[in-house]
Homo-oligomer: A and B are copies of this chain.
Amino acid sequence: MAMPLPIPSNATITAWARLIRAHNIVFAAVEGELKAAGFPPLAWYDVLLELRRSGGSLRPLEVERHLLLAQHNVSRLVDRLEKARFVKRLPVEGDARAQIIAITDEGRDLLTRMWPAYAAAIQKHVGDRLDSEIDATQLSHLLARLTQSEK
């Protein structure tokens, strides 16, 4: 008699373990290089980039949706960004509960200054480790599957 296949399969368990490990190693390496160059955490870059992409400002709820952060995390992250002068909180006409988070000139400048170091780190820790564009595309494709909703 054949042995029943384990659920999850060994291939699935290995994929899980390597996803966690690859992320931890690559993320720490990239963020570590930026930190060594005197830059703030990548979470700051992510928020500022979303703001710039969206024309300069977003509502907190939109930041939460784009970056998959909880409401209170955005609140605290914006606290730090505002204290560092990279964003400003603006009131919303007609709804005193709401606010708009707007990137400042200093925030745009930080994005500009960070990108060369960030790009170099991505190339070093991701691009240089894959043999070809085809591999990068294939990896992206498989990772995208993990974040799609159930079949």
Q: A122 to chain B: closest CB distance in Å?
A: 5
Contact A138 B138 (CB under 8 A): yes
Do residues A15 and B123 form an inter-chain contact, with CB atoms below 8 A?
A: no
Q: Of residues 118 to 147 in A, which have CB atoms within 8 Å of B's CB atoms?
A: 119, 122-123, 125-131, 133, 135-140, 142-147
Contacts of A3 in B (CB 8 A): none
Binds B, one of A17-25, A57-65, A87-95, A97-105: A17-25
How many residues on A have C-beta within 8 angstroms of the other chain's C-beta atoms?
47
Give chain B nearest CB distance to A136 CB in angstroms. 4
A-B contact pairs, 24 of them (CB 8 A): A7-B127, A9-B133, A9-B136, A12-B123, A12-B136, A14-B137, A16-B26, A18-B139, A18-B140, A18-B144, A18-B147, A19-B22, A19-B139, A20-B27, A21-B147, A22-B143, A22-B147, A23-B27, A125-B146, A126-B146, A129-B150, A135-B142, A139-B142, A142-B142
